[in-house]
Amino acid sequence: METNTITTVVMPLAIGIIMLGLGLSLTLDDFRRVVVYPKAVAVGLLCQMLVLPGAAYGLAVVFHLPPELAVGLMLLAASPGGATANLFSHLAHGDVALNITITAVNSVLSLLTMPLIVNFALTRFMGKGTVLPLQLDKILQVFAIVLTPVAIGMLIRARRRSVSDALQKPVKILSAVFLLLVIVLAVAKERVRIVDYAAAVGLPALLFNLISLGAGYLIPLLVRVPRRQAIAIGMEVGIHNGTLAITIASSPLLLNNLTMAMPAAVYSLIMFFTAAAFGWLVSRKRV
């Protein structure tokens, strides 16, 4: 992919705005709640970091996905949940405080786990001779691009709560705009082959989404996590930060491969419908 203003400016800016919005909603108490909800947080993180990469890997193998699409699906699985999960959890009567806690912890942990999972996928699907872009210098770039705006957002919230409250809505709108923009740009650059991509990865992306939602909800229930928290975990595990996956795949600073962005682009269009249906289903009293 040719380096240009869109990929070197727009995509890092998209990550920055999305992460700033997350930071504006977080406080240190969100991290301290790990002590309050240790079991629920642990189950949610285990689903996110073990079950989902395993599911993505299995789907990539079963469907014989082309190497770059297989890596893209694994990248999606490694991406943490986003603000959208909090919204759907609220609408489905889940424990939003737990959502925020898991998002906060997983966003930090993913800076370490994402390179490991992606590098494994690159080696497994693209061969041992493949250059692994997410090495130490790239990890540091991810820290700079992702963690810095989160820290700025948290600082604003801690020092100027009124400013944070005022900024949250416009930043969320900007995040949604950038999500759409990044998806449109990724699709536009590969418009000639987008039908082939959708045909190749559409069903795996849908199944991955359904597995994520189902596992995130049922596994907590099986280990006797309260139902309201299980709903929150289901949303957190089932709704990934597709924008982050797309920008990491597309940015020249990171993976620099638009094909790897296609699973997340297709997934980002699907998840709104499946999450809405899942929220309606689990919010019913007898489910």
pLDDT tens string for the chain (287 positions)?
Answer: 444 555 556 656 766 777 777 677 777 776 676 677 788 889 989 988 889 999 999 999 999 998 889 999 999 998 887 667 776 777 787 877 787 778 778 777 877 788 888 888 888 888 754 444 444 454 555 556 666 787 888 888 888 888 887 887 787 777 667 666 666 665 666 566 666 777 778 899 999 999 999 999 999 999 988 888 898 899 988 888 777 787 778 777 677 777 888 888 888 778 878 888 888 888 775 44
Q: Is residue 287 part of a domain?
A: no
CATH number at residue 69: 1.20.1530.20
Kindly list the distances between the CA atom of residue 134 and the CA atoms of 57, 125, 127, 251, in Å, as whole numbers in the listed order.
19, 16, 15, 12
CA angle 58, 210, 36 (to 5 degrees): 100
Specify the pLDDT at position 222: 93
Residue 59 lies in a domain: yes
Q: Which pLDDT does position 287 carry in this prediction?
A: 45
Could you give the CA distance from residue 156 to residue 160 in angstroms, rounded to a whole number?
Answer: 5
pLDDT at 283: 78
* 76, part of any domain: yes
Dist. CA 75–CA 248, nearest whole Å: 9
Look at residue 176 and tell me if it is in a domain: yes
User: What's the pLDDT score for residue 1?
Assistant: 41
Tell me, yes or no, whether 54 lies in a domain.
Answer: yes
Query: pLDDT at position 10, please?
Result: 62
Residue among 224, 215, 227, 223 at smallest CA distance from 282: 227
What's the number of domains the chain is made of? 1
In this prediction, residue 30 carries a pLDDT of 66
Phi, psi of 4 (to 5 degrees): -155, 180
Q: What is the pLDDT of residue 210?
A: 93
Is 91 inside a domain boundary?
yes
Q: Which domain holds residue 34?
A: 5-282
For 81, phi and psi rounded to 5 degrees? -70, 170
Cα 256 vs. chain centroid, distance in angstroms? Answer: 18
Task: For residue 259, give the 3-state DSSP assignment.
Answer: helix
CA distance 183 to 59: 23
